[in-house]
Structure 1
Amino acid sequence: MAMNFTLTIGKTGNKLHEFQNILSVLLLIGDILGLFLSFTLTFWIRLGLDRHFNAVNPIFYLFLALFIAGLYLADTYHPDTQIAGFRAPYRVVVSNGIVGSIIAVLIYLTGVWGQDPFFGRGILLLCLLIFTFWSVMLRVWAVKWVRSHAQETRWLILGATQKSIQFVKTFLDKNTWGRLVVLVEPQQDTEKLIKNSRVYVGSLNELPEWSQQAWSGVVVATSTDLSPLQTQQLMQLRLSGVSIYTIPDVCETLWYKLPSSLLQDSWLAFGAGFNLASDSISQKFKRAVDLLMAWILLVLLSPLMLLVMLAIKLDSPGPVFYSQLRTGLEGKPFKVYKFRSMYQDAEKRGAQWANERDPRITRVGRFIRLTRIDELPQILNVLRGEMSLIGPRPERPEFDVKLKQEIPYYDLRYVVKPGITGWAQVMYPYGASVEDAYEKLAYDLYYIKNYSLGLDLAIIFKTIRVVLLGKGR
């Protein structure tokens, strides 16, 4: 019976990603409060109770901005993730150590030591130790909090279509905890369904019983029409605060991507979004921002680009730049410009995807690819109107032919201009296969559907993190 599968969760069954978003905000507030308390405690310890910490001092806000920026770039606001094997508490120590060292060097070079209590002997070091301990303990608590709520998530799936089974597999791969209840149509063969201790398979006839319980969400994927009574039961769940999703909607909400194999023509035709592809105002605004930022970047990064050109020239024979044919807006080909990162004649055997340890890549090339510096000449493509700063990465026409045949809705990525960086580049590690192209397309489709200035800003900050952490390819 369905009632044998029980799990205690909150009344409204909040989604896990909502907890994680709230947690990031709480961690940010906690860090701000922690730095304030750290300075206050440090002033008392070093200067005595008669000297009070002045939180109005602009120096405090400068230090606050530097430490928060460092913690963000180290991705410490996602406490349950790892980067290069290091969890958030270790990244806090490294980030605070680097920021503290930068501040100490600036204090020494500017000669302001002792001119303000903030620059007094021992103030910064003691405050740094206290704040680091505070931030580390916040992340340790946060990880426990996330995992406790993850164990309480539970989803009700109506129907066992091929797409819903694929969703179940993805859910189990991406979520270490959580439970699924799959209710199938009567007389449906359940032998092909996933056998997993976290999945209960029942009948749609049990929906009245299951609808009385609390859920994180309900996914409707049945291939048959629901009866009026079943529809009414879903309506009651909706009114009680439980979200009702189609499969594309739940992927978009939980994982910020749209796997093309789970999409349907009707969903694309009637779904909201895709404003960038149709709204001329959004396109013109995005173009204006591209031009402004491209000129600013070209001026600011010119010294770096000159150093890279010199390093490439000294490292291996051949030209500094190379151009390559890529597919652009509406499938029109154009030449993309990059710093050369491979030896000459690297593709004498034809077009190939680059591998993680590709022997064709030079020593300098490996560094500029990891930090994405090799992409900087594409600023010229942006100025020429062939690319945007942010958008799907343009692919080579030779690869497009194969990818169009194997990946549904692949051509949708070209309804907008390609970009130097994009949602797929900051959300998915570098890969060179059809499977990787499928995953990247899922993130590209999410970006195209949900384009906004806020999303572009998020991609910019995430790109800075990728560059500083060397998470390119």
Structure 2
Amino acid sequence: MSWRRPRRLLFLCALLDLASIWPAAALADRRLGSSLLNHPIWLLCFGAAYLFLGWLLGSYTVLRWPDLRLPSVLRRLLTTSAVTLMAVILVRWAFNLPVSFSLGHRSTLILLLLPMTLWSLVLRLLFRRLSEGSHWQLVVPEASCEHVAMEWRRQDLAAQPRVVSPDRWPSRLWPRRSHLEGVALANDLELGEEQRQHLGSLKASGLPVTNLEALAAHQLERLPPALLPEDWLSYAAIPWSDEFGMQRKLKRVADVGMALALLLLSAPLLLLLAMLIWLEDRGPVLYRQERSGWMGGTFLLLKLRTMVVAPPDAPATWTIPGDRRITRIGSLLRPSRLDELPQLINVLRGEMSLIGPRPERPELEQELEAAIPHYRKRHWMPPGLSGWAQVCAPYAASLEEAELKLSYDLYYVRNWSTVLDLLILFKTIKTVLKVAGR
């Protein structure tokens, strides 16, 4: 799957971070006379906590920054180490572990974390140095150059591609060939005989040559609709179309099981939030709104109300940052997305899934469908409580942002799998824990 490729470097970095725990433990044992190496299970648990907190606090996403600044990287790594230190001390106190538990001593932890932090810093700087200077070259029609370049600039990649038109290619390629990662061509490109021969020589030399859609999926992890041909994708070509496939059945079983469990676990919280919403303005607790579902069908979506009660004939409008319609309780619920908990009932009814494109209002979709190509294809998957667009982009407050979110939805529809759903689930948990929504 294309979504896995950009993360290989992150996985490798995480594995090397984990490997550093044994040399660091050997150093601590030698200097302090502790016995960390005699407790490999505890060391693995400690390493897992270090990796999880590093992921939560963003010490791995720095590898994808366009501008890697040493103070920023060091600050994230030191924060990760400090939180790990406090977490281990808290666990020792909570479970009343014996004094002989050397991993719980502050001096041991500090001596363990210092070399691990230094090693993590060196790894990130080394990986960035190895990738510096390399880039892809995108060959697209002259009229599309600026738009294609803008789509890649949106992503803040560490290495931005060079976008050229056919009449300037391959003359601009050769001076930088030693740093060239590959060439991607637009689908509707017409090449001359000399250019086709040059393309063949690039393939023969082992240089990756692909199309623009494949590179967008690989680097951007989304599929900008404006870059896709009119006949792009049929329903029969997507993984979800296999009605009797095991992944599709597993998704429904997981939806029902997890929705029931989450409803039971969150019931006390839902009661508390309902009381707070009612106390603020004595208005209704739940908000019901018609949304578009699978294959364009409609259903009533449930949410905890986060805005003032609107008149029944109020027109549909975008929600913007600092929107005055948002209540005080709503301003707390929306960033953590706790207002969406009642949609677990929609999941149990079969109207939604836990993971999928977010359902939109039909009246807004008419405008979006007229302005954005391939918009209706997002309905080929059941709508979800969370989705690829939700964990990768903020709420859409304009037509341009809606197009950006659609690019993530199209990517999800094209590449859906159980493993991708799990990735979205983990990223959703991270968003909730960091209160990183909007």
Distance 1:27 1:286, change over 3 A: same
Question: CA separation in 2, counterparts of 1:429 and 1:262?
Answer: 22
- In terms of fraction of residues, the more helix-rich structure is 2
Matches within 5 A, 1:71-470: 71-80=54-63, 87-119=72-104, 123=105, 125-138=106-119, 140-145=121-126, 147-172=128-153, 174-175=156-157, 177-178=159-160, 180=162, 182-185=164-167, 202-203=168-169, 206=171, 215-221=180-186, 225-227=190-192, 230-269=195-234, 274-281=238-245, 282-345=247-310, 349-470=314-435
Give the match's secondary structure for 2:341: helix
Q: Which amino acid aligns with 1:356?
A: P
Q: CA deviation at 1:335?
A: 0.5
Question: CA separation in 2, counterparts of 1:131 and 1:236?
Answer: 52
Distance 1:323 1:149, change over 3 A: same
Measured against aligned partners, the alpha-carbon deviations of 1:393-413 in whole angstroms (never above 9, x if no partner) come to: 001112111111111111111
Measured against aligned partners, the alpha-carbon deviations of 1:60-112 in whole angstroms (never above 9, x if no partner) come to: 33322222221112222112468xx9944333333443343333233223222
Distance 1:208 1:308, change over 3 A: closer
Preserved CA contact (<8 Å) 2:17 2:120: no
Equivalence for 2:45: 62
TM-score by length of 1: 0.81
Distance 1:425 1:45, change over 3 A: same
Distance 1:253 1:273, change over 3 A: farther
Question: CA separation in 2, counterparts of 1:326 and 1:79?
Answer: 37
Q: CA deviation at 1:358?
A: 1.5
Preserved CA contact (<8 Å) 1:73 1:464: no
Preserved CA contact (<8 Å) 1:80 1:88: no
Q: CA deviation at 1:213?
A: 5.8
Preserved CA contact (<8 Å) 2:138 2:161: no
Give the match's secondary structure for 2:138: strand
Question: CA separation in 2, counterparts of 1:117 and 1:139?
Answer: 23
Question: CA separation in 2, counterparts of 1:162 and 1:347?
Answer: 45
Measured against aligned partners, the alpha-carbon deviations of 1:406-457 in whole angstroms (never above 9, x if no partner) come to: 1111111111100000000111123311111100000000000001111111
Question: CA separation in 1, counterparts of 2:158 and 2:21?
Answer: 33
Give the match's secondary structure for 1:394: coil
| Structure 2 unaligned regions, length at least 5 | none
Measured against aligned partners, the alpha-carbon deviations of 1:34-55 in whole angstroms (never above 9, x if no partner) come to: 3333333333333x2xx53235
Q: CA deviation at 1:310?
A: 3.0
Question: CA separation in 2, counterparts of 1:459 and 1:402?
Answer: 28
Preserved CA contact (<8 Å) 2:306 2:330: yes
Q: CA deviation at 1:369?
A: 0.8
What percentage of residue pairs aligned between the two structures are identical? 31
Question: CA separation in 1, counterparts of 2:427 and 2:331?
Answer: 21
Moved more, 461-470 or 216-225: 216-225
Question: CA separation in 2, counterparts of 1:345 and 1:355?
Answer: 16
Question: CA separation in 1, counterparts of 2:169 and 2:22?
Answer: 56
Give the match's secondary structure for 1:216: strand
Moved more, 280-289 or 93-102: 93-102
TM-score by length of 2: 0.87
Question: CA separation in 2, counterparts of 1:362 and 1:23?
Answer: 42
Moved more, 376-385 or 151-160: 151-160
Preserved CA contact (<8 Å) 1:161 1:221: no
Q: Which amino acid aligns with 1:359?
A: R
Question: CA separation in 2, counterparts of 1:376 and 1:113?
Answer: 41
Q: CA RMSD in A?
A: 3.1
Question: CA separation in 2, counterparts of 1:269 and 1:329?
Answer: 16
Q: Which amino acid aligns with 2:23?
A: L
Q: Does 1:27 align with 2:52?
A: no
